[in-house]
Amino acid sequence: MANTERVGFIGLGIMGGPMASNILKAGFPLSVWNRSREKAMPLLEAGATLGASPQDVAAQSDIIITMVTASEDVRNGVLGAQGVIHGAAHGSVVVDMSTISPRVTREIGAALAAQGIHMLDAPVSGGDVGARNATLSIMVGGDADIVERVRPVFEAMGKKITHIGPHGAGQTCKLVNQILVVGNNMAMAEALVFAQRAGVDVAKVVEAVGGGAAGSWQLNNLGPRILRRDFAPGFTIRNQQKDLRLALEAADDVGLPLLNTATIHNLFRVLEADGLADEGTQALIKALEKLTGVTVEA
Amino acid sequence: MANTERVGFIGLGIMGGPMASNILKAGFPLSVWNRSREKAMPLLEAGATLGASPQDVAAQSDIIITMVTASEDVRNGVLGAQGVIHGAAHGSVVVDMSTISPRVTREIGAALAAQGIHMLDAPVSGGDVGARNATLSIMVGGDADIVERVRPVFEAMGKKITHIGPHGAGQTCKLVNQILVVGNNMAMAEALVFAQRAGVDVAKVVEAVGGGAAGSWQLNNLGPRILRRDFAPGFTIRNQQKDLRLALEAADDVGLPLLNTATIHNLFRVLEADGLADEGTQALIKALEKLTGVTVEA
């Protein structure tokens, strides 16, 4: 079956690059734009078209995907000068797959709706590995018929595609995901420091408990890295902090305390102050090690 | 292969009863003792012998297992009047499978060693379901040759048997397990309250994130119960609090702060004060609900 929807892709970073590549491989006509043009080169060689601006990409596309960093990047790319809104046709769809504020995505969606342009929020989890292997989890907010229209494009990039609810619900789901991720990370860090200080073989302990009620993705995937003192990023502290700011801001919008998440955000700040923002999130344990004088090792 | 080691089992509660039953089914000669005799009846009908006291059970056994509640219960059953130590033969093995203080188990082990009696600490995880189905995880501390001698008995009760290290290491591993369990539980509680307050479909969110980096046993097993408002105990708050006291005490023994675990222990206290000690640990969310006025529902 030919894929006839024309796709535009804005933001070809560590995530967006391989995601766009998978869309092209699935047979969609693809035009792309990135602030630095070099990152587009492999896609152009594979058959994509280079747009002159987000506006230009939008003018060539039925579905326009944005995959950038922060709320303001999405706002500028979509609503700014030469932004998507100036090129997108009535009835086209903007799909923001960045992780941004649920409030900001709803504001952008309202501006687009006033021009007859649909919007979905569709943040992802699964990291750069998931982006390359097309195994991302995609959490989608928006109207059901638009979600179904875009589903073939999602399926080119991800494995688990869940329609959570109306526009903004995808971003909220991603923030729930991040609250869980850092909470499980914190539990792991505290448990491993305790194990080390209590004098047991930490690797044996991780192996003994990881498959039961104490198990988590964080423990089973990041625990072994900590034991090797491997703090290379799967996901950086810098990006984790961006997402925690969004969660704390969204909680503040509704007057909700997030005791655990706020504490963890502050512990990550200790590490940022130590110049470790570009290490992986498993380095959270270094904040507890600093507090306690314990070093966890296999 | 006939199982020729004679096993004694002391403590036939919700865990000990089915564990003793599985030992009998595996073909070991079994004698038992329990404070209230009625709980021994099904085992006696299945072929076990009733001892008159822990001392009497020990006199009939090569391997004596204790499965009771608290550190002092083990101390009394092993070292007290009519305790195991007064009946156990030189070269026999006491295996305490209760969750107790690592320090106390080492003290009891030293008293037994002075009489030429071996000791292992072998706490379990997997709950009453694991006890019935012989799928417990067993975390063992003690001398390797003694662990190997007892292994066939462990294999009658559990699926994953890990020798962590010297005597006491099994209990320490169990405390690490509990620090992880409550930390992941707390992450779940905070995330679900946020999801509810932010207005998304909490069941869809749990389904969307449970298989990825946010996933944990707690979320995948207890999350759905919370959404059904099912607070029946797999493991009670009362017992969780006992284990957290042990963890905080063991941390205090070595001068280690446990920021997260101490906070969670105090949140559980809120629920104990509300008369909820016999609800399941998933009721932790009720403490956050009380703080925030949010009620999480499917």
Parallel, antiparallel, or unpaired: how do β-strands B30-33 and B7-10 relate?
A: parallel
d(CA B106, CA B100): 10
Residues A11 and A88 in one domain: yes
What contacts 24+ positions apart, CB below 8 Å, involve B226-232?
B226/B188, B226/B192, B226/B282, B226/B285, B226/B296, B227/B202, B227/B203, B227/B296, B227/B297, B227/B298, B228/B298, B229/B297, B230/B282, B231/B276, B231/B279, B231/B280, B231/B282, B231/B283, B231/B286, B232/B279, B232/B280
Rounded to a whole number of angstroms, the distance from the CA of B66 to the nearest CA of chain A is 21
CATH of the domain at A217: 1.10.1040.10
Please count the structural domains in chain B.
Answer: 2
Nearest partner of B181 among A208, A216, A264, A286, judged by Cα: A216
Query: Cα-flanking dihedrals φ and ψ of residue A248, to 5°?
Result: -70, -35
Whether the predicted pLDDT of A3 surpasses 90:
no
Nearest partner of A109 among A86, A142, A132, judged by Cα: A142
Query: Does A217 sit within 8 Å of B127, measured CB to CB?
Result: no
d(CA B231, CA B221): 12
d(CA A96, CA A118): 11
Residues B12 and B155 in one domain: yes
Residues A14 and A123 in one domain: yes
Whether the predicted pLDDT of A4 surpasses 90:
no
> Of B166, B201, B235, which residue constitutes the final position of a domain?
B166
Rounded to a whole number of angstroms, the distance from the CA of B81 to the nearest CA of chain A is 32
How many angstroms separate the Cα of A81 from the Cα of each of A67, A74, A106, B94? 18, 12, 20, 77
Query: Does B178 sit within 8 Å of A214, measured CB to CB?
Result: yes
**Sequence-ordered alpha helix ranges (H) in chain B:** 16-25, 41-45, 54-59, 71-79, 102-113, 127-133, 144-157, 169-198, 202-209, 217-227, 237-253, 259-273, 284-292
Q: Which residues of B touch A292 (CB under 8 A)?
A: 256-257
Interface mutation vs chain B, best among A171, A200, A202, A207, most B CBs within 10 Å: A200
Output the six-digit token pair for A30. 């693809």
Residues A25 and A95 in one domain: yes
* Burial class of residue A139 (count of CB atoms within 10 Å of its CB; 0-12, 13-18, 19+): buried
Task: Return the residue of A nearest to B166 by Cα.
Answer: A200
- Given A174, A204, A242, A286, the catalytic residue: A174
* Cα B169 to the center of its chain, rounded Å: 14
Task: Return the residue of B nearest to A192 by Cα.
Answer: B176
Parallel, antiparallel, or unpaired: how do β-strands B93-96 and B118-121 relate?
A: parallel
Residues A34 and A68 in one domain: yes
Task: Return the residue of B nearest to A259 by Cα.
Answer: B190
Residues B56 and B132 in one domain: yes
CATH of the domain at B48: 3.40.50.720
Query: Does B261 sit within 8 Å of A211, measured CB to CB?
Result: no
Residues A12 and A157 in one domain: yes
Q: What is the pLDDT of residues A182-236, one digit of tens each?
A: 999 999 999 999 999 999 999 999 999 999 999 999 999 999 999 999 999 999 9
d(CA B204, CA B192): 11
In a domain, A2, yes or no: no
- Give mean pLDDT in consecutive 10-residue pieces for chain B, a chain of 298 residues: 85 97 97 96 97 98 97 97 98 98 98 98 94 97 98 98 98 98 98 98 97 96 97 96 98 97 98 98 98 95
* Cα A175 to the center of its chain, rounded Å: 10
For residue B28, the 8-state DSSP code is: -
> Of B123, B144, B166, which residue constitutes the final position of a domain?
B166
Report which secondary-structure segment, H or E, holds A149. Answer: helix A144-157
In a domain, A118, yes or no: yes
Average pLDDT over every residue of A103-120: 98
In a domain, B298, yes or no: no
Q: Which residues of B touch A137 (CB under 8 A)?
A: 208-209, 211-212
3-state secondary structure of B124: strand
Phi-psi region of B293 (alpha: psi -120 to 50; beta: other; left: phi over 0): left
d(CA A195, CA B177): 10
Query: Does B254 sit within 8 Å of A212, measured CB to CB?
Result: no
Residues B199 and B137 in one domain: no
Q: Is A286 a catalytic site residue?
A: no
In a domain, A24, yes or no: yes
**Predicted local distance difference test score (pLDDT) of residue A2:** 60
Whether the predicted pLDDT of A1 surpasses 60:
no
Nearest partner of A197 among B255, B103, B168, B171, judged by Cα: B255
Residues B117 and B197 in one domain: no
How many angstroms separate the Cα of A292 from the Cα of each of A276, B103, B255? 18, 21, 9
Contacts of A17 (CB under 8 A, 6+ apart): A39, A42, A43, A131
> Of B117, B142, B166, which residue constitutes the final position of a domain?
B166
Query: Is A20 in contact with A13 (CB distance < 8 Å)?
Result: no
Q: Which residues of A touch B218 (CB under 8 A)?
A: 213, 216
Read off the pLDDT band of A85 (50, 70, 90).
very high
Task: Return the residue of B nearest to A253 by Cα.
Answer: B198
How many interface pairs between A and B have CB atoms less than 8 angstroms apart?
Answer: 242
Residues B226 and B261 in one domain: yes
Residues B143 and B106 in one domain: yes
In a domain, A215, yes or no: yes
Q: What is the pLDDT of residues A38-68, one digit of tens each?
A: 999 999 999 999 999 999 999 999 999 999 9
Q: What is the pLDDT of residues B189-236, one digit of tens each?
A: 999 999 999 999 999 999 999 999 999 999 999 999 999 999 999 999
Q: Which domain holds residue A215?
A: 173-292
In a domain, B106, yes or no: yes
Contacts of A220 (CB under 8 A, 6+ apart): A210
Query: Does B258 sit within 8 Å of A190, measured CB to CB?
Result: yes
**Predicted local distance difference test score (pLDDT) of residue B254:** 94
**Predicted local distance difference test score (pLDDT) of residue B4:** 84
**Predicted local distance difference test score (pLDDT) of residue B2:** 60
Q: Which residues of B touch A126 (CB under 8 A)?
A: 212-213
Residue with tokens 């694991």: B130
In a domain, A297, yes or no: no
d(CA A233, CA B221): 29
Query: Does B199 sit within 8 Å of A172, measured CB to CB?
Result: yes
Q: Which residues of A touch B294 (CB under 8 A)?
A: 256
Residues B77 and B112 in one domain: yes
